[in-house]
Amino acid sequence: MKVIINALKVYQDIYRKIKGETCEEVEEFIQLLKSYEKLSITEFSNKLEGMKEEPKEKKNQNVDIKTLGKYYYAFSHSSQLMTDELKDFLEKNKNQLFIKALNCGLEEAYNFIECIELKTLKTNQLKFLGYALVDIEVRGKNKAEQKKYLLQTLWKVIENQKMNEIYESAL
């Protein structure tokens, strides 16, 4: 790549001597290539190929949060296996409290969600938690309303579970 950059610089010098000005496109291209100066042509070519494939992967990453949440709900409430899409989603969402909220009971999940700061929580994570924990769609215009709705719903479910336990123990 160093040879190519030098060739472009020579071209730029020739262009400057003939036209009396620099070619902006060539200058931009030289600046762009400087970060790849130490790579061989093959390595640079492979890097470009990798860049072409990334947008395809991003399209596949944009999976439906509702579907993923329902997969997690089914996974946690039955013997259904975790899908690859679900594993990928969970790996990309490294927020510790978010992960802890998924791996515990509803009361603990309520406490974890309550502790999560809104700035560290994404909207798709809130929606996922709604589907994954209690199989509901989280409503609200913004993250604060969505979090409040999720917490209220979790509280209702927790209270219902406690009432059912009391009722069953009385029988």
Q: With the CA atoms of 156, 72, 113 and 123 taken in that order, what torsion angle do they form, in degrees rounded to the nearest 10?
A: -110
Residues in CB range of 74: below 8 A, 6 or more apart:
80
- Pair 124, 98 in one domain: yes
Domain of residue 153, residue span: 65-170
Domain boundary among 43, 61, 79: 61
- Pair 97, 141 in one domain: yes
- Pair 34, 94 in one domain: no
Is 1 in contact with 40 (CB distance < 8 Å)? yes
pLDDT in tens, the chain (171 residues): 888 889 999 999 999 999 999 888 888 888 888 888 888 888 888 888 877 665 544 444 446 888 888 888 888 888 778 888 888 888 887 767 788 888 888 999 999 899 888 888 888 889 999 999 998 999 999 999 999 999 999 999 999 999 999 999 988
Domain count, the chain: 2
